[in-house]
Amino acid sequence: MDDEAARKAERVKALLAGYYGAGDAQPAGAAAAGAPAAGAGGAAAAGGQAPGAPRRPVAAAAPAIATLDSATFDANQHMAQMLKTSGLERLMVEHRNTAREIKNLDTDMQQLVTENYNKFITATDTVRVMKAEIDQAIPELAKLTTIMSACVRGARVCGSRSRATARASGQRAWPGSAS
């Protein structure tokens, strides 16, 4: 289960890196399997060969597959190259792998959109609650300002009276005060 979670986390990282322009992003399945790039995981390994058979070099297809995620990738050129250099079995494997990867990418992107949408809704709700609390606090703060102003005026009056009484009696109003 931890392996599956780690692969999924790696895949999400790769998707985000690919979406935000890291350029070298690979889906987790391809990165974990050591495949060259997206779409190549099973096709490059299978290559239309029986398991255990010596691998045939795929020199012509490797550069096109390696640049599948690049901005300069040409799908028509890639298809023409695949049709020239690959047998029917390999083309079918490539088709199944590509279809599976497209489905996985669609699912992952839907999940990312849903998660981000949920985060957006949560943030919106939080802002709405904060606004309501601040709107409630404004009248309270206005009352507090009025009360504090009255306290300051009362303290000034008390201080003035205390100084006047002290002057009249010839004493200081409190230690450290100027007469």
Per-residue model confidence as pLDDT tens digits over 124-162: 999 999 999 999 999 999 999 999 999 999 999 998 888
| Token couple for 38 | 């997206």
CA dihedral 137, 142, 143, 146 (to 10 degrees): 160
Q: Do the domain assignments include residue 164?
A: no
Could you tell me the residue range of the domain that residue 111 belongs to? 2-47+58-130
Q: Do the domain assignments include residue 71?
A: yes
Ramachandran angles phi, psi of 19, nearest 5° = -65, -40
Q: Do the domain assignments include residue 10?
A: yes
**Distance between CA atoms of residues 167 and 173, nearest Å:** 8
Q: Do the domain assignments include residue 6?
A: yes
Q: Do the domain assignments include residue 18?
A: yes
Mean pLDDT of the chain: 74
Q: Please tell me the pTM assigned to this model.
A: 0.39
Q: Do the domain assignments include residue 90?
A: yes
pLDDT for res 8: 79
What is the CB neighbour count within 10 angstroms for residue 28?
Answer: 20
**How many domains would you assign to the chain?**
1
Q: Do the domain assignments include residue 88?
A: yes
Mean pLDDT for 70-91 is 86
Least confident of 37-51, 90-104, 107-121: 37-51
Q: Do the domain assignments include residue 117?
A: yes
